[in-house]
Chains A and B, each alone.
Chain A
Amino acid sequence: MRNGARAVKWGVPIAAVAVVAGVAAAGPVIAAVQGDPSLPDRTARELVADATRKWQSGQLPPMSGTIVQTASLGLPTLPVAGDVTSPIALLAGSHQAKVWYGGPAKVRLMVPGEMSETDLIVNGDQVWWWNSAANTATRVKGAPPDGKPEATPYASAITPQQAAEEALRAAGGDTEITVGKDATVAGRAAYEVVLTPKDAGSLIKDVRVALDGETLLPLRVQVYAKGTAEPAFEVGFDSVTFSPPAPENFAFTPPLGAKVEESTVPSFAHGPHGKDAIENAAPRVVGDGWDRVVVASVPERLTQDMAATADKAESWRGSNGVTSLTDGLLKSATPVRGEWGSGRLIRTKLVSVLLTDDGRLVAGAVTPEVLYAAAAQK
């Protein structure tokens, strides 16, 4: 065969590679070609006020979508399989959840795992937490009164909305609020509100909240650590549809053969950051604004919790991942000492944790110096 014909033939697979790469890259490329969306100008204050009013009125539009949460805190990451709903597992890597929202009293949050699934279903006064790996359906007592979305902390525990509310609450007065360039999130034009801490001790460069241009629903929250170009923590919609979800999503009856339990608050409500889990163990907050630091007595509970989490995950892959992550964390702690005493320090891009030798745990999104100062005030 002639060389010319041969060269033409090899053009076909090269073209195939180009086409497949083109299809794979189509999303980002189309977004880049379309450029940034332009929404009518609004000031930061207007946006925040309007958005808060919308959320508090409880009249959020019915919708469904996929949420992706990504944390790259710079933790010593090890293969973490096991219990996907464990708060510790959420500290590393990327996680996906699906949400269906039909109204304040109709919410379903689903976290898929490999051949397993965890669901939180709120339907009227019934709140169910379903864990297929453990084959347990938990009826959550103290069902939320109707009306306000804040009343469903379980459902919004890891949604962008919860994260946005947290950020605004944490912001207080020592924050510069600006409106960034309009962004496209889940294919929708969105305002981007940028919260920049004024405190020097904060490890957070800024928090960016993308609000849907039409409904002002938070579509994405990104937390940038100082000195990084990629967000250290991000939770946002990957896809979203504003139409009422099918009613089957909110109907849950414990299947035959499942263990049915009752509990007051599901462990799911511990929230996405480990900080919340620790807050539950102990309740003292030192400082205010972005420099807030949580001081707790070091919980034997913490270790017990971790062991319990490990036991709970009876999945095929086992849960050694969670334990090894904890071990890795403790191993990465460096011994430190100062006027406040001595202890071990765990540093990540976004969060510092100090475990003092006299049994206290000090943590916050701050530099170690702020932790030492907090540790000094007994």
Chain B
Amino acid sequence: MSNHEPPGHPSAVAVGTGAAPGRGAGPARAAARLLASETALTFRRPRHLAMLGVLAVVPVLIGVAVRLVAGDGDTGSIVAQVAGNGLVLTFTAFFVMLPLALPLAVSVVAGDAVAGEASQGTLRYLLTAPAGRGRLLALKYANVVLFCLASCTLVAVSALVAGLALFPAGPVTLLSGTTVPFAEALLRAGVAVLYASAGMAALGALALAFSTLTENPVGAISATVVLVVVSEVLAAIPQLSALRPFLLTSWWNAFDGVLRAPMDTGRMGTGLLVFAGYGVISGAFAWARFTSRDVTS
């Protein structure tokens, strides 16, 4: 695919044209322009659009499956809950997709961020901009965070639409057995989206760090995905349960804290700290590597 793209990379062009007269407009505006062009590029790529399409379809498939099963009388609890209220499908979708589907999509975008430019030979054009490498990396990461937020929101919205189309709506029963009004449940779903996005953003930072290490985007993407899978395998081994709190993957599903009464902020707070820890370390490594490496392509 990279062969078919013109060598004048759109974002490189945007920087070239934007930076020269933009000196007086302030660095903030230049940064915003660069981020906008990065984001537009990310969300215009057929590959990324296809991925987002899959992410949007999965909740619908879960909803249809539940709808088909729900008639069979005595079914499992989550199935029964989804069948009772469409909004629950949002949480079920996250429960199903957070372990692999969403991380996969985020890895593809973040792992490609720097290595993809390097492999296409557009990285050095980007670096001709007077923005500085550190700022360029920050913009790349901001773009990854936006993608995390967008993909998690997309999953939630798709699940919500499918849920409301297939099942009745109304007050939602939480895991604690407490019933909350629809609006509050919607708010709780919003918190779950933000928490899931934070978890994905931590993985995005890791993938971006891998991306600065190589000129081969597939390498960075697969390294991230392998790490996710290995973490999940390690977490499943009881003898290694001591490792569990230190693995990024163990904290993603803590979003179910929003479904408890009172909301389990303690566990989610720890989860956010873990995400921040992964983000800071990965970010520092990515910065050190990206600002000190020789860019030849």
Contacts and interface: CB of A to CB of B under 8 A. Distances in A.
A114 B244 CA distance: 14
Interface in A1-18: 1, 5-6, 9-10, 12-13, 15-17
B84 A257 contact: yes
A225 to B, nearest CB: 18
Contacts of A134: 77
Interface in B171-206: 171, 173, 175-179
B167 interface: no
Interface residues of B, number: 42
A66 B23 CA distance: 56
Contact of B236 (A6, A79, A92, A315): A79
Given A117-B175, A316-B78, A93 B264 contact: no
Contact of B176 (A119, A314, A315): A119
A246 B262 contact: yes
Interface stretch (A34-42, A51-59, A248-256, A279-287): A248-256
Contacts, number: 113
Interface string A234-251: 000001000000101100
Interface in B240-297: 241, 246, 253, 256, 259-262, 264, 266, 273, 277, 280-281, 283-285, 287-288, 291-292, 294
B291 A20 contact: no
Contacts of A78: 238
Interface in B79-121: 80-81, 84, 91-92, 95
A30 interface: no
Nearest to B236: A79
Contact of B177 (A1, A115, A137): A137
Contact of A110 (B80, B91, B176, B284): B176
A191 to B, nearest CB: 27
A331 to B, nearest CB: 16
Nearest to A7: B292
Interface string A74-106: 000111100000000000111000000000000
Contacts of A248: 178, 261-262
Q: By DSSP majority rule, is chain B's interface helix, strand, loop, or mixed?
A: helix
A175 B78 CA distance: 50
A13 B238 contact: no
Given A116-B175, A134-B77, A9 B291 contact: yes
A32 interface: no
B239 A256 contact: no
A81 to B, nearest CB: 9
Given A133-B77, A135-B80, A115 B173 contact: no
Contacts of A5: 292
Chain A CB count within 10 A is highest, among B81, B171, B273, for B81
Interface in B127-166: none
A79 B241 CA distance: 10
B288 A9 contact: yes
B76 interface: yes
B239 A130 contact: no
A20 B292 CA distance: 23
B20 interface: no
A16 B256 contact: no
Nearest to A5: B292
Contacts of B177: 117, 119, 130, 132, 137, 252, 254-255, 258
30 contacts: A1-B292, A12-B284, A13-B287, A20-B280, A23-B273, A24-B277, A66-B266, A77-B239, A79-B236, A110-B260, A114-B95, A115-B78, A115-B95, A115-B253, A115-B259, A116-B77, A117-B175, A132-B177, A135-B81, A246-B262, A248-B178, A248-B261, A249-B262, A252-B178, A254-B177, A255-B173, A256-B171, A257-B84, A315-B76, A315-B77
A-B pairs with lowest CB-CB distance, top 4:
A16-B284, A13-B284, A255-B173, A117-B175
Interface of A: 1, 5-6, 9-10, 12-13, 15-17, 19-20, 23-24, 66, 77-80, 92-94, 110, 112, 114-117, 119, 130, 132-135, 137, 239, 246, 248-249, 252-258, 314-316
Interface of B: 76-78, 80-81, 84, 91-92, 95, 171, 173, 175-179, 236-239, 241, 246, 253, 256, 259-262, 264, 266, 273, 277, 280-281, 283-285, 287-288, 291-292, 294
Given A112-B260, A117-B177, A314-B77, 6 more contacts: A16-B280, A92-B238, A255-B173, A255-B179, A256-B84, A258-B173
